[in-house]
Structure 1
Amino acid sequence: MKRRDVILFVGIIVASIIGTKTFAEPLRKHSSEEIGAEEVERIIKTIKNNPEFSIFYNAIEEAELSKEIAKLDKMTLMIPSNKAFRLLPEDVWENFMDEDNKEDLVKLLNYHVIPEKVNFDDLNRADNLETLQNQSVKIFKGEDLKIENAVVQEKHEETSDVIIYKIDRLIMPL
């Protein structure tokens, strides 16, 4: 096993210990309508212009995720703050950003995209949500509203097709 593979593997284990788990769900077909190119560009610009989301922005650019986002008709983005990314060991994040691990980066980022618009009231009523990765993530209600182990800190922006929430941890697959 190559050194970067070992570091990536250890990072996924560490992130799992930090507290996130997911369960497989059947593949859901999405609407044939798409968010307009202008809307996608505005969303990407909103993320780019927020200094708290700069690491996420760099990751979606590296993963070319904006192309996948453009295929959706509605979406909810759970964006980890830069502080959330810094919870990962540095070598682990560097490996995700390595060109050879682009597929793993795409999978990781897809856990942060819900292919439907989920307002805050719906989040509070839901028990789980399906991600763009076709995996279910659990919703926990209590003192804080959590998606897996990530606390929903604030609603950052909302349009007719998109809601962006800031979260304090990465949502990671096991």
Structure 2
Amino acid sequence: MKKQFLSVAMGVAFLAMTAACNSTKTSSTTTDSTNMAMPDTTMTTEAGVEVGGAMMVPSKNIVENALGSSDHTTLVAAVKQAGLVETLSGTGPFTVFAPTNEAFAKVPAATLNDLMKPAMKADLTKILTYHVVPGALKSSDLKDGMELTTVQGQKLKITTKDGKWMVNGANITIADVISSNGVTYVIDGVLMPK
């Protein structure tokens, strides 16, 4: 009886050790009920901010994150047209105030169509770079009345009213979208330089 108990105890200990080893082991395959090897499709999800139906994550750059947003297709098209994809994909860091499609819809259609023409590339670039500030500024860095010098050269003014933050009067609707090369703020207006 003592021998039988010892055998059972050793068997349980062996199974427990095997289970413990297997639970810490990473495997690229799993087995389904028919004992066929299946690829492991478990994915870890990176924390981020949802914008336009897509998760904006710190491992992607500003452009890569913007490409996933259904709310920023006009901005992405304008960035491509202006030839700024490579710049905004660079090391930065940048702070970008990103107008939504609804914000661009407030711009007269004829004006927007003209800006998207190759002959207007310089003007489009001035407008887009007016939305970009050197450095990675999080919302905790912003102060009421603060002025920020843009890549375009002119200044933007940050204000707050009734708990809402604005840049040049456009509402900041989503703050602190962190990318590998900076920070993005979603805004409800297109900022126009003087």
TM-score when scaled to structure 2? 0.64
Distance 1:150 1:55 in 2: 17
The answer to whether residue 61 in structure 2 is matched with residue 45 in structure 1 is no
The residue number in structure 2 matching 1:158 is 178
Q: Secondary structure at the match of 1:124?
A: coil
The answer to whether residue 182 in structure 2 is matched with residue 169 in structure 1 is no
Please point out which of 123, 129, 142 is paired with 1:110. Answer: 129
The residue number in structure 1 matching 2:103 is 84
Using a 3 Å threshold, how does the CA distance of structure 1 residues 87 and 61 change in structure 2: closer, same or farther?
A: same
The answer to whether the Cα contact below 8 Å between 1:40 and 1:66 also exists between their aligned partners in 2 is: no
Q: Report deviation, 1:41.
A: 6.8
Distance 2:181 2:106 in 1: 31
The residue number in structure 2 matching 1:66 is 85
Q: Secondary structure at the match of 1:109?
A: helix
The residue number in structure 2 matching 1:8 is none
Pick the structure with greater CA Rg.
2
Distance 1:73 1:45 in 2: 14
TM-score when scaled to structure 1? 0.71
Distance 2:130 2:91 in 1: 15
The answer to whether the Cα contact below 8 Å between 2:61 and 2:180 also exists between their aligned partners in 1 is: no
Distance 2:158 2:152 in 1: 16
Q: Report deviation, 1:94.
A: 0.2
Q: Percent identity?
A: 26
Q: Secondary structure at the match of 1:146?
A: strand
Q: CA RMSD in A?
A: 2.0
The answer to whether the Cα contact below 8 Å between 2:147 and 2:157 also exists between their aligned partners in 1 is: yes
The answer to whether the Cα contact below 8 Å between 1:79 and 1:165 also exists between their aligned partners in 2 is: yes
**Bigger fraction of residues in helix:** 1
Using a 3 Å threshold, how does the CA distance of structure 1 residues 72 and 107 change in structure 2: closer, same or farther?
A: farther
Which residue identity does 2:83 align to in structure 1?
Answer: E
The answer to whether residue 161 in structure 2 is matched with residue 142 in structure 1 is yes
The answer to whether the Cα contact below 8 Å between 2:61 and 2:182 also exists between their aligned partners in 1 is: no
Where structure 1 has 5 or more consecutive residues not aligned to the other structure, the ranges are 1-38
Where structure 2 has 5 or more consecutive residues not aligned to the other structure, the ranges are 1-57
Distance 2:189 2:159 in 1: 14
Distance 2:161 2:82 in 1: 34
1:53-77, CA deviations, whole angstroms, 9 ceiling, x for partnerless residues? 0000000000011233355531111
Q: Report deviation, 1:161.
A: 3.6
Distance 1:93 1:41 in 2: 28
1:7-45, CA deviations, whole angstroms, 9 ceiling, x for partnerless residues? xxxxxxxxxxxxxxxxxxxxxxxxxxxxxxxx9973212
